[in-house]
Amino acid sequence: MARSAVATIHLDALRANLAHIRALAQGAKVMAVVKADAYGHGLERCARAFADADAFGVASIADGLRLRAAGHRNRIVVLSGPDAPSDLAEMRRLNLEAVIHHESQLAMLEAEPTAPRLRVWLKLDTGMHRLGFPAERAAELYERLQALPSSDPDIVLMTHFASSDEFDNDFTARQISNFENATRELSGERALSNSAGVLGWPQARGDWVRVGGLLYGLSVAEGKTGADFGFQAAMTLSTRLIAINRVKRGERIGYGSTYECPEDMPVGVAAIGYGDGYPRSAASGTPVLVGDAQASIVGRVSMDLITLDLRNAPGARLGDVVTLWGPKLPVEIVAQYAGTISYELTCGVTRRVLFAEDGH
Ligand SMILES: *Cc1c(COP(=O)(O)O)cnc(C)c1O
């Protein structure tokens, strides 16, 4: 049989989400972060929907190349910068901008003083301790970059938050003040906030916001969905019901026999599994929709199939649409049952799933 799993991308939701970010950002420029194939939604289609973003943020030069090949002339920022001198040449050729976060990258730039100017974003570590120079070195590094004939003197100063989704965690306030203290004397534009920063930390708005999740309607704030903040889910993952079985009380379902039927009950089988990116960690009880009725996972998710408690879906019929997540069933809720975050689920949809679009 043909595989039935479909990821439908809602183009109008992507557009509306960008407009909503613009309103919240109150004049700050918006970098639309489209790494990981636009959080699993498809790089080219999302870039089309975000065509008027002030910049795109990508994780690789290859993604920058795809955006240029699709005809986009927006600024494009490679969020982890160059790894080798050949990367610098490629970035210049494609007019990409480089985040500079490490001494080795500065050394590469300094080693080619006569190369054409490259636009750079200077990344400061204010407490996350992943990428970035120690914030106290901001002034020294800024001057070194400004003095370089091979880099553009208009340098954007940036940092990244570790816990901005915890709106009452003052670690973010400390990161903001570390950043302000380190950059006070410097004239460049500022870029601090990710999605959660835009929602929870308006004092960190700066000149740029770098937004991924919310553009796709995704939230990482504990217990909150993107819709709770006025954003629209941009992906519906669905499939079909391919079997309905009556299973007797006391019988067990699926690999490992992890679920025991508490009574005689209808158990549905839907054509999707971890081979499609539906998480194997989704526990019994994880909600799904069969048509418009609520059902739930029973037993283990297998590679191609899931098994469903249909006791609350008495009208279920073979061929019914089964929705795993989408506007009517927030992926944030599914993520909670699977012990992960929404981003990992949308990024994890695999290549055998058919992608479709609605809206324009
Ligand atoms: C991924 C990323 C973002 C976007 O984060 P969201 O939580 O998806 O908004 C912003 N800045 C940097 C440096 C990133 O790597």
Whether the CB of 284 sits within 6 Å of ligand 1: no
Q: Looking at the structure, do residues 246 and 210 belong to the same domain, yes or no?
A: no
Residue 344 belongs to what domain range?
A: 235-358
Q: What is the pLDDT of residues 1-37, one digit of tens each?
A: 567 899 999 999 999 999 999 999 999 999 999 999 9
The CATH code of the domain that includes 116 is: 3.20.20.10
Whether the CB of 160 sits within 6 Å of ligand 1: yes
From the CA of 216, how far away is ligand 1's center (Å)? 12
Q: Looking at the structure, do residues 210 and 244 belong to the same domain, yes or no?
A: no
Asked if the structure places residue 227 within a domain, the reply is no
Q: What is the pLDDT of residues 228-246, one digit of tens each?
A: 999 999 999 999 999 999 9
On the question of pLDDT at 346 being above 90, the answer is yes
From the CA of 296, how far away is ligand 1's center (Å)? 32
From the CA of 35, how far away is ligand 1's center (Å)? 9
Whether the CB of 323 sits within 6 Å of ligand 1: no
Q: What is the pLDDT of residues 116-167, one digit of tens each?
A: 999 999 999 999 999 999 999 999 999 999 999 999 999 999 999 999 999 9
Question: DSSP code of 116?
Answer: P
Q: Which residues pair with 293 in a beta bridge?
A: 290
Question: DSSP code of 126?
Answer: S
Question: Measured at the alpha carbon of residue 185, what is the angle toward residues 114 and 161, in degrees to the nearest 5?
Answer: 90
What is the pLDDT, as a whole number, of residue 3? Answer: 74
Q: Tell me which of 35, 123, 259, 274 is the catalytic residue.
A: 35
- Residues 274, 280 contacting (CB under 8 angstroms): yes
What is the pLDDT, as a whole number, of residue 360? Answer: 81
Q: Looking at the structure, do residues 192 and 295 belong to the same domain, yes or no?
A: no
Q: Give nearest CA residue, ligand 1 atom 8.
A: 212
Task: State the average pLDDT for the chain.
Answer: 97
Work out which ligand 1 atom sits closest to the CA atom of 165: 7
Give mean pLDDT, residues 75-102.
97
- Residues 201, 28 contacting (CB under 8 angstroms): no
- Residues 198, 24 contacting (CB under 8 angstroms): yes
From the CA of 210, how far away is ligand 1's center (Å)? 6
Cβ neighbours for 287, distance < 8 A, ≥ 6 positions apart: 294, 295, 296, 329, 333, 334, 337
Q: Of the residues 193, 218, 243, which one is the last residue of a structural domain?
A: 218
Angstrom distance (rounded) from CA 186 to CA 136: 12
Q: Give nearest CA residue, ligand 1 atom 4.
A: 212
How many percent of the chain have pLDDT more than 90? 98
On the question of pLDDT at 65 being above 70, the answer is yes
Structure tokens at 233: 């889910």
Active site residue 35: yes
Which DSSP string corresponds to 7-59?
EEEEHHHHHHHHHHHHHHHTT-EEEEE-HHHHHTT-HHHHHHHTTT-SEEEES
**Phi/psi of residue 265, nearest 5 degrees:** -155, 155
**How does strand 208-211 pair with strand 29-33?**
parallel
pLDDT band at 189 (very low <50, low <70, confident <90, very high): very high
- Residues 274, 286 contacting (CB under 8 angstroms): no
Asked if the structure places residue 315 within a domain, the reply is yes
What is the pLDDT, as a whole number, of residue 26? Answer: 93
Q: Of the residues 218, 251, 286, which one is the last residue of a structural domain?
A: 218
Work out which ligand 1 atom sits closest to the CA atom of 220: 7
Hey, which of 54, 194, 214, 224 would you mutate to test ligand 1's pocket, going by the most ligand atoms within 8 Å of its Cβ?
194
Angle formed by the axes of helices 171-183 and 138-146, nearest 10°: 50
Q: Looking at the structure, do residues 193 and 255 belong to the same domain, yes or no?
A: no
Give mean pLDDT, residues 194-214.
97
Cβ neighbours for 98, distance < 8 A, ≥ 6 positions apart: 77, 78, 81, 82, 88, 91, 105, 118, 119, 120, 121
What is the pLDDT, as a whole number, of residue 1? Answer: 58
Question: DSSP code of 185?
Answer: T
Asked if the structure places residue 226 within a domain, the reply is no
How many separate domains does the chain show? 2
How big, in percent rounded to 5, are the helix, strand and coil portions of the chain?
30, 25, 40
Angstrom distance (rounded) from CA 141 to CA 302: 52
What is the pLDDT, as a whole number, of residue 295? Answer: 98
Q: What is the pLDDT of residues 275-331, one digit of tens each?
A: 999 999 999 999 999 999 999 999 999 999 999 999 999 999 999 999 999 999 999
Q: Which residues pair with 260 in a beta bridge?
A: 252
From the CA of 33, how far away is ligand 1's center (Å)? 6
In the block, tokens 């009950």 appear at 265
Asked if the structure places residue 1 within a domain, the reply is no
**How does strand 321-325 pair with strand 235-247?**
antiparallel
Angstrom distance (rounded) from CA 64 to CA 76: 7
Q: Looking at the structure, do residues 213 and 300 belong to the same domain, yes or no?
A: no
Active site residue 255: yes
Hey, which of 33, 128, 214 would you mutate to test ligand 1's pocket, going by the most ligand atoms within 8 Å of its Cβ?
33
Q: Mark residue 250 as left, alpha or beta (left: phi above 0; alpha: psi -120 to 50; beta: remaining).
A: left
Asked if the structure places residue 225 within a domain, the reply is no
Hey, which of 60, 79, 124, 341 would you mutate to test ligand 1's pocket, going by the most ligand atoms within 8 Å of its Cβ?
79
From the CA of 186, how far away is ligand 1's center (Å)? 24
Q: Give nearest CA residue, ligand 1 atom 15.
A: 79
What is the pLDDT, as a whole number, of residue 2? Answer: 66
Angstrom distance (rounded) from CA 154 to CA 37: 29
The alpha carbons of the chain give a radius of gyration, in whole angstroms, of 23
Asked if the structure places residue 134 within a domain, the reply is yes
Distance of CA 116 to the CA centre of its chain: 33
Q: Looking at the structure, do residues 57 and 200 belong to the same domain, yes or no?
A: yes
Whether the CB of 236 sits within 6 Å of ligand 1: no
Whether the CB of 195 sits within 6 Å of ligand 1: yes
